[in-house]
Amino acid sequence: MSPASDPSPAAPDDTAAALPDQVRWPHAAVLVVDDEPGMCHFLERMLAPRVGQVRSCGSAEDAEQLLQRQRCDLLILDITLPGASGLTLLKRLRARGDGCEVVLITAFADLDTAIEALRAGASDFLLKPFRATQVLAALQRGLERARLKRENWLLRRTLEARTPPADGLVGRSIPIKGLRAALQRVAAVDSTVLLTGESGTGKELAAAALHALSPHAAGPFVPVNCALMSPALIEGELFGHGGERRQRDGLFVYAQGGTLFLDEVGELPPPLQATLLRVLEDRRIRPVGSEHELPVAVRIVAASNRPLIEEVEAGRFRKDLYYRLQVVEIALPPLRSHKEDIPDLVAHFVATLAPRLGVPPIEVSADELAYLAQYDWPGNVRELRNLIERSLIVGALNVSALYQGLARSERRGRVPASAPTPAPPAPPAAVPAGPVDLQTLEKRHILAVLDSVDGDKTRAAQLLGISRRTLERRWAEWQDGGAAAPPAG
């Protein structure tokens, strides 16, 4: 509480209008706590055109009740209040984990008070009388800190939850060109987008590209995999908590002004499907334990690796939510439909993964690329990426993991009879062209790897991704066929 003689802030009513157009924070919520109605009116009038929501109250008790029902990005708090002081309220907020930015204001200030305020968790300190420009500067600093906290939290969550996808949509095939064109057409509008396709086709990468091409590109891109979240916790993760004992923003708040990517949306439990439908229709969320709703300005991009219409027919997914998500549907092609992109993808993964792993790049020959094109790639681009990562670690293209899949493909008649034989990691002896059975292909590859490591069977087994015992067993099977004995090692 300020004394009766406390002068009013400089230019109390017309300062805000006279200030130049400042940076605005359309998604920020600010609460002013001061027992002087004139001060509350001054701050509300100044901040209303610049923030999404500004409210005021006259005591710490009223502020605490308000903060239990709604989120707040920044609190402008007078130290001297009737009842509990502003410092007491600040300490209570920090004790229960509320990390909103706090700017303390007072007409009675000394060094001890300022030190106590900063130790209690205040982010700024203003002495009455102050100018409007000082308030706006403190507001900008506080909201910038709040933004950085959210970004850091998202970065930690992203790094813990997943390996970042390779940047960019790689490929020059007709399916990939069509995908790029579809993303560019849809990016300019705010319609909800449903991405469909098999696992590993790059739905998160497509969602990130959609965000980067959209007017929301300056805002955050927040991915969440619904299949990896506990049904008991997912509501709080998405919408946050607003109860008295626990307050935390959800992913919808973190995605304000940007894009929220709901991967594997078909895994949402039925009660949450109904909640998500209301959010999509009303653009408002209600944190867990809160009685009040918050407006959100977020673009929703959803994805599923299973046809959602089949989930609807099976009664596992709401029909109304399906049609609300499927305003625009974009299907991602499986890798087997654009194998001509494999050379570009291999080159891209080698170039991006080798520096991350701290290993030298590997060279992949034309014959090896042709061999990769024989495979069906049930794991799609993700499987190819993992193969290149393993190969970089062992120092040569490691195709042993593909043998079993190739055998299945051959039984289905999908491997061309004239398919070329892959070259081994090191320059091998000339191999006659023409049809070759899978066992001969495997034998040639293993012999070439043994030759490249001077007969070191332990090293060869590591490069091949098999045990030394398996390598010895293979060799014993070939003895009846008259193969030359390998060097001891």
> What mean pLDDT is predicted for residues 201-211?
90
pLDDT at 256 exceeding the cut of 60: yes
Burial label for 62, CB within 10 Å (0-12, 13-18, 19+), is: middle
Residue 317 lies in a domain: yes
- Give the percent of the chain with pLDDT over 70: 77
* In contact, 96 and 89? CB cutoff 8 Å: no
Residue 49 lies in a domain: yes
Measured distance between the N- and C-terminal CA atoms of the chain, rounded to whole angstroms: 86
Residue 270 lies in a domain: yes
User: H/E element holding 242?
Assistant: strand 241-242
Confidence at 417, pLDDT banded by 50, 70, 90: very low
pLDDT at 438 exceeding the cut of 70: no
Q: What's the confidence (pLDDT) of residue 22? A: 52
Give the dihedral sign, CA 407/408/409/412: positive
CATH code of the domain containing 234: 3.40.50.300
Residue 10 lies in a domain: no
* In contact, 33 and 80? CB cutoff 8 Å: no
Q: What's the confidence (pLDDT) of residue 1? A: 40
Confidence at 400, pLDDT banded by 50, 70, 90: low
Q: Which of 288, 306, 333 is the last residue of a domain?
A: 333
Higher pLDDT pick, 384 / 489:
384
For residues 109 and 236, state if they share a domain: no
Please give the Cα distance from 74 to 32 (Å, whole number): 9
For residues 37 and 102, state if they share a domain: yes
For residues 232 and 359, state if they share a domain: no
- pLDDT one-digit tens code per residue, 110-163: 677 777 777 778 888 888 888 888 888 888 888 888 888 777 766 655 554 444
- pLDDT one-digit tens code per residue, 26-42: 778 899 999 898 899 99
- pLDDT one-digit tens code per residue, 154-181: 665 555 444 433 336 888 889 998 898 8
For residues 323 and 348, state if they share a domain: no
Confidence at 8, pLDDT banded by 50, 70, 90: very low
Number of domains composing the chain: 3
> Could you tell me how many residues make up the chain?
489
- pLDDT one-digit tens code per residue, 40-59: 999 998 898 888 889 999 99
Radius of gyration of the chain (CA): 31
3-state DSSP helix/strand/coil % of the chain, to nearest 5: 50, 15, 40
pLDDT at 235 exceeding the cut of 90: no
For residues 225 and 317, state if they share a domain: yes
Q: Which of 333, 348, 383 is the last residue of a domain?
A: 333
Q: What's the confidence (pLDDT) of residue 218? A: 85
Confidence at 300, pLDDT banded by 50, 70, 90: very high
The whole domain housing 66 covers 15-147
Please give the Cα distance from 483 to 220 (Å, whole number): 61
For residues 377 and 474, state if they share a domain: yes
For residues 307 and 410, state if they share a domain: no
Number of Cβ within a 10 Å radius of residue 95: 9
Nearest to 227 by CA among 272, 257, 179: 272
Please give the Cα distance from 406 to 376 (Å, whole number): 8
Please give the Cα distance from 195 to 266 (Å, whole number): 12
pLDDT at 255 exceeding the cut of 70: yes
For residues 274 and 421, state if they share a domain: no
Residues 285-304 as b/e (b if ≥16 CB within 10 A, e otherwise) read bbbbbbeebbebbbbbbbbb
With a CB cutoff of 8 Å and minimum separation 6, the contacts of 403 are 438, 442
Confidence at 317, pLDDT banded by 50, 70, 90: very high
Q: What's the confidence (pLDDT) of residue 128? A: 82
- pLDDT one-digit tens code per residue, 70-92: 778 889 999 888 888 888 888 88
pLDDT at 303 exceeding the cut of 90: yes
Beta strand pairing status for 241-242 and 247-248? antiparallel
> What mean pLDDT is predicted for residues 216-233?
84
Task: Report how far apart, in Å, the C-alpha atoms of 251 and of each of 97, 101, 154, 207, 400 are.
Answer: 17, 19, 9, 16, 42
For residues 359 and 460, state if they share a domain: yes
* In contact, 374 and 420? CB cutoff 8 Å: no
CATH code of the domain containing 403: 1.10.8.60
Residue 152 lies in a domain: no
For residues 21 and 107, state if they share a domain: yes
Confidence at 5, pLDDT banded by 50, 70, 90: very low
Mean pLDDT of the chain: 78
Residue 8 lies in a domain: no
Burial label for 413, CB within 10 Å (0-12, 13-18, 19+), is: exposed
Residues 10-33 as b/e (b if ≥16 CB within 10 A, e otherwise) read eebeebbeebeebeebebbbbbbb
For residues 238 and 109, state if they share a domain: no
Q: What's the confidence (pLDDT) of residue 484? A: 47
Block residue for tokens 């990691």: 425
For residues 355 and 383, state if they share a domain: yes
Dig out the tokens for 314 from the structure. 């099976």
Q: What's the confidence (pLDDT) of residue 34? A: 92
Q: What's the confidence (pLDDT) of residue 23? A: 58
CATH code of the domain containing 132: 3.40.50.2300
Residue 157 lies in a domain: no
> What mean pLDDT is predicted for residues 369-379?
86
Confidence at 343, pLDDT banded by 50, 70, 90: very high
Q: Which of 305, 333, 361 is the last residue of a domain?
A: 333
Beta strand pairing status for 74-78 and 51-57? unpaired
Number of Cβ within a 10 Å radius of residue 148: 10
Residue 347 lies in a domain: yes
